[in-house]
Structure 1
C-alpha cells in the first residue's frame, strides 16, 4: 500500500470525558501509529465548539464506538457528525466504522439502525464470506443496537443475531470491537459506573475473558487493519 509521508488518520471518539473517549481507541491507536499514521482525534460530543479536523489531506477516517444510539436524533452532536461523515465519503476518504461507528456509517450510506432483538455481549464467532478481511473471530461484541447495511453494500460477515460487517467502496463497517483490550474495557466500565449503567450480563466475567484473550485480540485487530488498508488503498479514488 502507498501513502504519502506522515499519513493522517482522523479518529472520532465518543464520551463526554475526553480521557475515557481517547482510551476507547484501544489497540487501533498503537496499530495505526506503527503504520506511521499521525492520529488526529476529535469528538463532536465532548468538544462541540472545536472545529473538526480537515479532511482534505486525510488518508483515513475511523469512527469509534459510543454508548449512544446512532438513530437518536435528539443528540445535539449527532447531526454535525453525520454531516462530517458524509463529507468524508464525498471526498472518498476510506472510513472504518466500529460498532456505533459501523452503525452510523450504515445509516449515512443509506442503510438503517435499530434496537436489536438479540443484543450481544462478549466474544462471539461470526460467519464470514471474506476471511482475508474479516476472519471468523472470535470478535468482541458489546451492543444493544444493530445495523442493516445499505442495499448497495456487500455484507461479508454475520451471525444469527446480526449483520457483523459490510463493505461499500473503500469503506468497512463493523458491528464488533476489533480494538478491544483490557484498558479499553476498563474505560467502558468507568463510564458505566459514572453513569449508573447496569447490565443484564456478567461484566466481570467478560473482563476476565478480555484479559485472557488480549494478545490474540490484538493480533486479529492488526491483521484486519492491514487487510482493510490494503483493500482501501487499492481501490480507485
Structure 2
C-alpha cells in the first residue's frame, strides 16, 4: 500500500501519523510542494499525480491560508482539484490542519478567518470519541473550517470545527502528527515570534504531552479501519 504525504513546505512531516502508517504496512511517498528557496514567495508550479496511484493521501499543514491565492499562487487551485479528484475516485484522504481546510474547500465547504488563533494543547468535544478522542490535541491555526454540505462534523471546540468525515475521508483541524521536534522546527522558522505576539509561551508548546503518540496511533487505526476501510 502507498500513502502520498503532501508536505506544503519544510520542515513539516508526517510525524506520529506517518510512523503508524508505516507500522500498518504503508510505503510513504513524500511530495514537497514549496522548496526552501521559494518559501518567501511560494508561487511555484506543482504537477499533482493521478490520485488513483495511491491507497491514501495525507495533505499536511501549512502556514498560509487556503483562501489567500495572492500569497500562495496557482498551486492551491491545483491542489483543491487534486483532492476533489481523489474523493471522486474513492481514494481516502486524511487531511490535517491546512490539509483539512483544503479538503473542505475542494468539496464545497470553505475556510474563513477565526475569531482568534488556537495554539497549543487543547481538548475537543467529540461526538465519536472512539474515532476522534477528546484529546488533548495540538493546535496551531488562525483560520476555521466551514464543513462541506456532504460532510458530517464529528468534533469541535468553541472556536472551530475540529473533525469531519465525508465518504472514506477525514479532515482534522488539529495536528495529531506533531512531535516535540516538529513543534521546535516550526518555532525555529519564525513561529516563536508569531506565537509570542499572541500571548503564548514558545517553551511551553514544545514540552512533550503524555500519551500523544498513543492517541495518534489509535486515531490512525480507527480511521483506517472504520472510515478509509483499508
2:163 is matched with which residue: 156, 159, 165?
Answer: 165
Aligned ranges 1:1-237 → 2 under 5 Å: 7-15=1-9, 17=10, 20-21=11-12, 24-46=13-35, 48=44, 51-74=47-70, 75-76=72-73, 77-192=75-190, 197=194, 199-200=197-198, 201-208=200-207, 211=208, 213=209, 215-234=210-229
Distance 1:193 1:220 in 2: 25
> What's the C-alpha RMSD, in Å, of the aligned pairs?
2.0
Q: Which runs of 5+ in 2 are unaligned?
A: 39-43
CA contact (8 A) 1:13 1:63 kept: yes
CA contact (8 A) 1:42 1:52 kept: no
Residues 43-82 of structure 1 deviation map (CA, whole Å, 9 limit, x = unaligned): 2333945643442231100010000111111212212211
Distance 2:121 2:229 in 1: 31
In the TM superposition, structure 1's runs of 4+ consecutive aligned residues that sit over 4 Å from their partners are 47-50
Q: Which runs of 5+ in 1 are unaligned?
A: 1-6
CA contact (8 A) 2:94 2:170 kept: yes
Give TM-score, length-normalised by structure 1: 0.86
Distance 2:91 2:140 in 1: 27
Residues 80-127 of structure 1 deviation map (CA, whole Å, 9 limit, x = unaligned): 211211221121110111111111111111111011103111111111
